[in-house]
Structure 1
Amino acid sequence: MLRINGETADPGLIEDAFARFKAEAEMLSEVSCCERDGEFRTLAEEEVIDGILLAQEAEQNSPAPAPEEVRSAFEDTLRQWREHGASWDLLDAQRESLRAETISKLRMERFTEGLWRDLPELTEEDLRAWYEANRARFRQPPSARALHLVRFPESADPWDDYAAMLDLRRRALDGADFADLAKTHTKKRGAETDLGWIEQQRVFNPFESMLFSLRKDEVSPVFFYEQALHLVKVEEVREAAVQPFEEVADGIREEVERARRLQVLKDLAATLRTTAVIERD
């Protein structure tokens, strides 16, 4: 059981935060199964503690919202619940708690608006400095449109399959139409030969490493990958680029503003912790 200044934390909030932290790490392939569960649970508890401290501060320092404001916000809350399938019986049973949550949310909104009011206006210089420090975020990888010919070794002597692919490459280099060769000789299920546009996402992947070492109209050497022999020809190439500042400035402003506001809340929560009574049973 977790209590903050005598208020018991909802275990469901901790479980939700725990699941979110773990899912985010799994998406980044940083964790498997349960190896970092203790770390994620600690992060979840700390997040819930900060949230409760901020809500308590808002309760003490933000005036109660006007009845009309509460009525309008409460109606919006009920409408949203109904849109998500909640029955009227459920809403009647939860009416008082939903109303309390609505008032608490209004108080928090007013409280945080006051905290953020004194933040200095972001300038274009601020945004450009952030852009330069995070240019890798806006990198667009190279891409290529390629034709593909693949054959799976079938002969008793692997050299026979390799020699057949060498002959197909020689014919392509001598002027034969690669698209026709691929359609006639590829062994791919479905006989697809046009790979369309491929972005370079895996630098050390053998297929992409070969593909993106080629220039336009160049035919690759025969190479072996995933139990098959391959030939690729590059039809078109788009070089790597970085999105210009002007295209991403609005998104940068939103992200930097959001980060600044979050930091204000984190700093306040850290201050509130110095006098808070936090109990764990």
Structure 2
Amino acid sequence: MNKQKSFEDKGPAGILYVVPTPIGNLEDITIRGLNTLKSVDLIAAEDTRNTKKLLTHFDIHCSMVSYHEHSQDSRVAHLISQLKNGKDVALVSDAGMPAISDPGAPLIQAVLAEELSVVVLPGANAALCALVGSGLATDQFYFFGFLPRKNKERKRALQRLQRQNSTVILYESPYRLTETLEDIHFYLGNRQIAIARELTKRFEEYVRGTIEEVMNWTKTGTIKGEFCIVIEGNPEESDNQEEAWWEKLTINQHVDYYIEKDQLSSKMAIKQVAEDRKISKRDVYQSYHVE
């Protein structure tokens, strides 16, 4: 059990402050966030070059140390040592709330495991901005972040999302947006969707409609900047959500999917379809190669 009263008199140890940074517009940062960055002894930054620009803009002068996914193991012990020596540390990401789709979470967990204090400041977050601006339901939502890149893991993730009643929020890069929309359409059907890009920046843009409409937009629209994708939850009742992702496919379409998406040979694809459908390989082979 870990109990913390964040605003009582500070003990001998330092505090880890989790400080959200702008997601686009520099005015996204709060007054409290600026005051915290001015008062701490050390800033742990995902990319010190990006954070340096922010600090320079607001005339903040503070020591920094890099903390990113490739430096976690070597930095955690150092930062905990600083806290135990009474130094206050601010954790920042390149943009938005630290620990949301960035490497901040392991540091927070390690600090709490040492029974040190973690104080989280409210602030900018792309997922919540996109959700509220999407026009889709906000009473329940499921944040997934980035989909896996490997086909097999990606397929499993989309199969889980297919059964999700709540509004779903994804992050995606401009380089994979078209492919991701195609996969969403394949697994989740033609649901309502909204995509948001360049949030809080000058070229902020929302595109709302069905998945097919948004897919058509990508042929002529501007695909630049980081994207948030907000997807309508499964409109069906939960009792009907156990339908397999391939139920609406013909046997031949099912085989073609594994050949095209998972790059299986026709022999292995037929075997997988037979396992999925719990029918004989001979029946699948007959349908695919003969009929």
Query: TM exceeds 0.5?
Result: no
After TM superposition, the score normalised by the length of structure 1 is: 0.19
| Structure that is richer in helix per residue | 1
* Higher Cα radius of gyration: 1
After TM superposition, the score normalised by the length of structure 2 is: 0.19
